[in-house]
Structure 1
Amino acid sequence: MLEEKLKEVVHNSTNGLYTLKYDDLDLNITLGNVTLKNAELIPDSAVYKKMVLDKKAPNSRFHIKLNALKVRSFNLWDVIKNRKLFIKNISFESPNIHMISEYHAYNDTIVPNKETKTLYDNIKDVFSSVNVRDIKIDNVKFKFSKIEEGKSSDIELDSVAIKVHDVLVDETSIQDTTRLFYTKMVEVDVPGFEYELSNGFYIAKFDRLSINTQDQNVLMTKVEYRPKMSKGQFFKSKGQNVTMAVMKFDTLRFEKLDFKRVIDDQQTIAQNVQIKNGSVSLYNDKRYPKKTSNKIGKSPHQQLLKLKQLIHIDTVFLNNVDVLYGEFSAKFHQEGTITFNNATGTITNVTNDSLYLKDHRWMRANFSSKIMNAGLLKVQFGFDMLSKSGEHTYKGTLGGMNATSFNKILKPLLNVKIGSGNIRSLSFDMQGTDRKNWGNLRFNYDHLKLNLLNKPGEDMSKTKKGILSFVVNNILINDSNPDANEKYHVGKINYTRVAEHSFFKTLWQSLLEGIKQTAGISKEREAKLMGAAENVKEVGQESKNVIKKTGNFFKGLFKKKEKEEEQEEK
């Protein structure tokens, strides 16, 4: 009779979605103990399909197996007299849990079509209340399957530990905001985890995952996202110049995370996210062809808006993260790198909630870092999340530093080396859309000298290289701002975006236009500068005249020196 009643309650309370099976049930009335052996909760796929057609299916369903379910110290007299069930503890032995997630848009509706029955509604004819003080689930094998567009991707975890404290199901507990699904607290501890992504190129892993629903926190330590192969093998396997990413963080923490929204609707609603002590490295290899595509409408804030699932994070905190960009040159066969060390900052109003954005439309980011581990760079971004043309702003400052720090990227990629240079300060104030970037840039520097280098396999005398470098430094660029004529150059930027360029490449190209203007590099001068850097044998008519004059100057200098030596000998 008990078995029939138990199975009937499970079947009816889940609208036929689940069936309960087990091998044996041991009941000790005196001690108030129950043991269910080899139990299994099975979802009915046919019922689920019908629920999907009726738009009543939940996003998640479960298939659970366990060796034993042990219920300890319940009071039968209280059940009979008051219809109240109190259980001291429940333990699950070696459970195997398979969670299947399938997104259904109708579950996102704010007001459901019909009132759904609560758990209390399903038990109130039997119990007026059910209270379990502690539930312990050790050595859990957990499998998560996400079904998207008919395809399934799986994540498996082993040796998971779960503790649940103070479960209460009664007439009012569902309204208790201090509880999550009738519980006061759920603690989850997941040891080391490694997962190979379905694309076959990347691995995601962490050392430990801790979840506490009472504090509404999620903590992951030693988080990694990296290719499962070397850099060379990655680009060879891809056969294209696509960006390779390597990310490592000591700490990734979510605070005040709404677990109910995560579980029910796969929505991420949190107060804060902390990313602490780590690195982000991005690499490109220009020896491979790049697949071009139109990047208009694909800026970071526009991609956020296109996410299917709702996300709302008040503030993302970034603390002590090193960012590196590396690029391998097909022309000079070297890798250049630029680094932003100890990046720290915040991103606020990270959301794609269209209703919330009507009153709070700007996402803002504020960062500081040491560029090339030298000059202090401070940057502020603003993103108009509702702008159809992708409106955004960015402004920033760079403190004093030695310009030679940039040789790590200039020498490998442009075959040009900065011999000397003192950057006093740089500042910019910019606006942009999908199509254009405009604004002002001020660049204060002095004693800038460039040295031209031999191309691979090219043999050129030091004298000739020195003369050509002299031409570049004295004719093609200003060695300071203000220049030798005490004229101060301001970069007036009006840059038209190349559709195939990414958001960040467009940002850099815009600023570069301003830097070139402050250095006095006109389009004509730039063509000569690049010509000198790439082919030192062709320097233009103006450069030839300067070389001739320079040669005469040196000849006169040497003749004067010879006459002085002759007089000394006499």
Structure 2
Amino acid sequence: MAFTLFKQKWQRVTFYVVLGFVVVIMLLSLALNVYFSPMLESKLKSSIAESSDSLYKIEFSKASLNLLQGKVVIDDATLKVDKAVYNKKKKAGTAPNNLYDIRVNQIRITGANPLKYFFSRKAAISKIVLNEPSIDMSYEANNTEDKPKGDKRTIWQRMSKTLKSARVGEIWLNNLKFRHTDYSHKKPLRTEVRELNLKATDLFIASTTQADTSRFFYCSDIVTEVNNYNGKTPNGLYFYKVKSIKLSTKSKQLTLIGATLKPFNRLLFFNKTRSERFDLSFDTIRLNNFNFISYYRYRTFTASSLSASHGVADIFGAPNKIPNYQKDAAASFPHMALRKLDFGLRIDTINLKKVHIIYSEFNKKSQKNGSITFSNTSGQIFNVTNNKKALKKNNISTIKLTTYFMDRGRLDVTFKLNLTADNAAFSYKGTLGPMPLSALNKAIGPISMVKVASGSVTRFDFDVDATRYAAKGKMTFLYKDLKINILKRDEESGKLKKKGLTSLLANYLVIERNNPDEPGKQPRSANITFVRPLNYPFFKIAWKTLFAGVKECAGVSEMDEKRANAKMSEGDLEKQRGEKDD
């Protein structure tokens, strides 16, 4: 066929020369592949050992390369910790906090140039793809900060004997299965993620990048995406779910979309615990300037800001909680609880936008639920930290919020929390704008057995200083046309009904109808000192102090309240006698 196709002699000569050249190249390529494959295996193993200070060792069933295509394929690869080396480092105090066990069915490397590596000792690769890898990561708090190591050399310095530099354009981990075990708690905390993809860009290990703090693991950026992350809390009471988690080490931004925490079984929840029930959801939670390296190494949570928007926090008080009057609840104060966290925390600013807060409670006397709501809550929380160095510079956390109390009255409030004071000092002041007092009925009706028949708030100002022992403050509660009804539960229907005589006595003997009594007259104000019972938590002492001020502004003194209660009791007895006589 060739003789008929190539009629001219020069054509035949050219054909055989080219054919011979191709055969020589193919034979040479095959010979080099056979020669370099074992060398590749030994170089990979030695490089891993050198770069990890002998902590890790790599094993694989086969490593092959194709010089013409610049492709390397590694089958059945595993990266494991050398336990003997780890134990030695642990005794010396130089063991890392994080360990890895990695298994990959196949690693595909493209755009590799083994000849360049052989002659110039520079590794350059276009892309590395790990298909369906499995990573087991464990965390143990061996160190809380960077300590001098036995071998102080960087990764580049360790591998510089065999490589001048190593550069990879992209690294893809597709359909990664990730398991994490945290041994820093009393019981190991295990987490598993399945729908995870990771992309690392521009991994460059060289003398010029060994001290580059803008790179993470020598990469200019690592982007991690997790979809449909879910699981149970360790106590089994809650189910959590996040639709999407995305982290970029370059932008230092961590974003959570569709984060929810819900009771695993709402109906049986209080059969299993005497704690409050939480139901939380947020459309978006975003951390800016998130220090992932600090979190990765030491579980220290550091960010310049956290933004949470379009959320709902639904809290239900435990109906079966047994009061412990001897136990000091000061440990539950937010700034006291911050000190007891088992991880480091430092967030400069927390931004809240359009968060709806609901607190509900079941009243045994009324057999009904009462709810207090703070809708469309927005604001900022500054200096949230338990970091000792940060606290020396600023030990005050400030909370500034604007919300709508019971969906009606605008409430502007500022809290200041002393993060280091032994007496848990804090203060709060604010202003509640105009609103109808009847909006309180869905809260005070079931909980306090009182209903507002008429009245409206003109303005409520308060300024309180408090500690774990007591609260002192001044309040001015301006209102008009206040009238209330005292309620009782009808045993047959279960509905709340008005106690006519008692309501009449309460309006006549206890409360003042207006404040000020007349236009232009000086309004009543209250100077309150409220001694905190030992078992009162943070928000209870806050609202109890405010409630004491409201009562005094309404003209209800302690003596008047006792006298009115006595008369109302007499009235109830007279009514009962009249019913018996009939």
- Residues 297, 434 of structure 1: 8 Å contact kept: no
Q: What amino acid is the match of 2:480?
A: D
Q: What is the CA-CA distance between 1:522 and the residue it aligns to?
A: 1.5
The 1:191/1:353 distance shift into structure 2, 3 A limit, reads same
Residue pair 1:174, 1:181 contacting (<8 A) in 2 also: no
Equivalent in the alignment of 1:448: 482
Give the SS at the match of 2:285.
strand
Mapping for residues 77-476 of structure 1, pairs under 5 Å? 77-104=115-142, 106-108=143-145, 112=148, 116-149=152-185, 151-230=187-266, 232-238=267-273, 240=274, 242-290=275-323, 293-457=327-491, 465-476=499-510
Structure 2 CA distance for aligned equivalents of residues 227 and 360 of structure 1: 37
Mean Cα deviation higher: 398-407 or 379-388: 379-388
Partners of 1:361 and 1:133 lie apart in 2 by: 46
> In the aligned structure 2, how far is the partner of 1:405 from the partner of 1:207?
36
| 3-state secondary structure, aligned to 1:449 | strand
**CA 1:328/1:118 → structure 2, altered by over 3 Å: closer, same or farther?**
same
Describe the shift of the 1:79–1:530 C-alpha distance in structure 2 as closer, same or farther (beyond 3 A).
farther
Task: State the Cα deviation string for residues 134-189 of structure 1 (Å, max 9, x = none).
Answer: 11111111111111356212111112111111111011213223322211111111
Aligned partner of 1:10 in structure 2 is: 48
Q: In 2, are the aligned partners of 1:287 and 1:329 still within 8 Å (CA)?
A: no
State the one-letter code of the partner of 2:271.
K
8 Å Cα contact 1:282-1:324 kept in structure 2:
yes
- Please give the alpha-carbon distance, in whole angstroms, between the structure 2 residues aligned to 1:203 and 1:172: 47
Matched letter for residue 437 of structure 1 = A
Q: CA deviation at 1:235?
A: 0.9
My pick for the range that moved more, 3-12 or 220-229, is 3-12
Secondary structure of 1:31 counterpart: coil
CA distance in 2, matches of 1:340, 1:233: 27
Per-residue displacement from partner, 1:465-519 (whole Å, max 9, x unpaired)? 3332121011111121123695622111111111111111111111111111111
Distance 1:530 1:49 in 2: 73
Mapping for residues 47-86 of structure 1, pairs under 5 Å: 47-86=85-124
* Partners of 1:82 and 1:201 in 2: CA distance: 60
2:560 equivalent among 506, 513, 525: 525
Distance 1:316 1:178 in 2: 25
TM-score by length of 2: 0.87
Quick check: 1:287–1:328 contact (8 Å CA) kept in 2?
Answer: no
SS at match of 1:442: strand
Instruction: State the secondary structure of the residue aligned to 1:323.
Output: strand
Matched to 1:247, the amino acid is L
Amino acid at match of 1:174: Q
**Deviation of residue 529 (structure 1)?**
5.8
Is the Cα contact below 8 Å between 2:457 and 2:479 reproduced in 1?
A: yes
1:511 equivalent to 2:511? Answer: no
Q: What do the CA deviations read for 1:8-44 (whole angstroms, capped 9, x no partner)? A: 3323432333221111111122332111101111123
Aligned to 2:60: 22
Distance in 1, Cα, partners of 2:150 & 2:390: 26
| Deviates further, 202-211 or 462-471 | 462-471
Following the alignment from structure 2 to structure 1, what is the Cα–Cα distance between the partners of residues 392 and 498? 63
Fraction of identical pairs, as percent:
27
- SS of the equivalent of 1:356 reads helix
Equivalent position amino acid for 1:107 in 2:
T
Q: Which runs of 5+ in 2 are unaligned?
A: 1-37, 576-582
> Aligned in 2, Cα 1:148/1:176: closer, same or farther, shift over 3 Å?
closer
State the distance in 2 between where 1:205 and 1:455 align: 41
Deviation sequence 1:25-75 (CA, Å, 0-9, x none): 111223321111011111234543343232111111111111111111122
Distance 1:315 1:464 in 2: 48
Aligned AA for 1:343?
Answer: T
Q: How many residues align?
A: 534
State the alpha-carbon separation in 1 of the partners of residues 505 and 492 from structure 2: 20
1:448 is displaced (CA, Å) by 0.7
Structure 2 residue 539 is the aligned partner of structure 1 residue 501: no
| CA offsets 1:192-213 (integer angstroms, 9 cap, x no match) | 1111111011111111111111
For 1:365, the aligned partner's letter is I
The equivalent residue for 1:481 is: 515
C-alpha contact 1:277 1:321 (8 A) present in aligned 2: yes
Q: Secondary structure at the residue paired with 1:192? A: strand
Q: What amino acid is the match of 1:139?
A: N
- Which structure has the bigger radius of gyration? 2
The question of whether the paired residues in 2 share the 8 Å contact of 1:38 and 1:67 is answered with: yes
Q: For residue 500 of structure 2, what is the amino acid of its counterpart?
A: G
CA shift in 2, pair 1:463/1:352, >3 Å: closer
Residues 488 and 497 of structure 2 are in contact (CA less than 8 Å); yes or no, is this contact kept in structure 1? no
TM-score normalised to the size of structure 1?
0.89
Q: 1:368 to 1:214 in 2, by over 3 A?
A: same
AA at the equivalent of 2:69: L
Which amino acid letter does the alignment assign opposite residue 143 of structure 1? R
Note if contact 1:187-1:211 (Cα within 8 Å) is conserved in structure 2: yes
The Cα of 1:379 is off from its aligned counterpart by 0.6
Change (3 A) 1:113 1:21: closer
Q: 1:529 to 1:502 in 2, by over 3 A?
A: farther
Cα pair 1:189 1:208 within 8 Å, conserved: yes
Secondary structure at 1:148's aligned position in 2?
coil
Checking the alignment, whether the CA contact within 8 Å between 2:195 and 2:228 is kept in structure 1 is no
**What is the DSSP-based 3-state SS (H/G/I as helix, E as strand, rest coil) of the residue aligned with 1:301?**
helix
Aligned partners of 1:186 and 1:51: how far apart in 2?
28
**Cα drift, residue 455 of structure 1:** 2.5
Query: In structure 1, what is the equivalent of residue 20 of structure 2?
Result: none
Q: Report the equivalent of 1:565.
A: none
* CA deviation after TM superposition for structure 1 residue 464, in Å: 9.1
Call closer, same or farther: CA 1:101–1:399 in 2, change over 3 Å: same
Superposed CA deviations along residues 247-304 of structure 1, whole A, max 9, x for unmatched, are 1000011111111111111111111111000100110143553456311244111221
The 1:515/1:21 distance shift into structure 2, 3 A limit, reads same
Give 3-state SS (helix, strand or coil) of 2:329's partner: coil
Rounded Cα–Cα distance in structure 1 between residues aligned with 2:411 and 2:462? 11
Report which stretch shifted further, 395-404 or 65-74: 65-74
Asked if the contact 1:84–1:128 (Cα under 8 Å) also holds between the matched residues in 2, the reply is yes
Amino acid at match of 1:62: Y
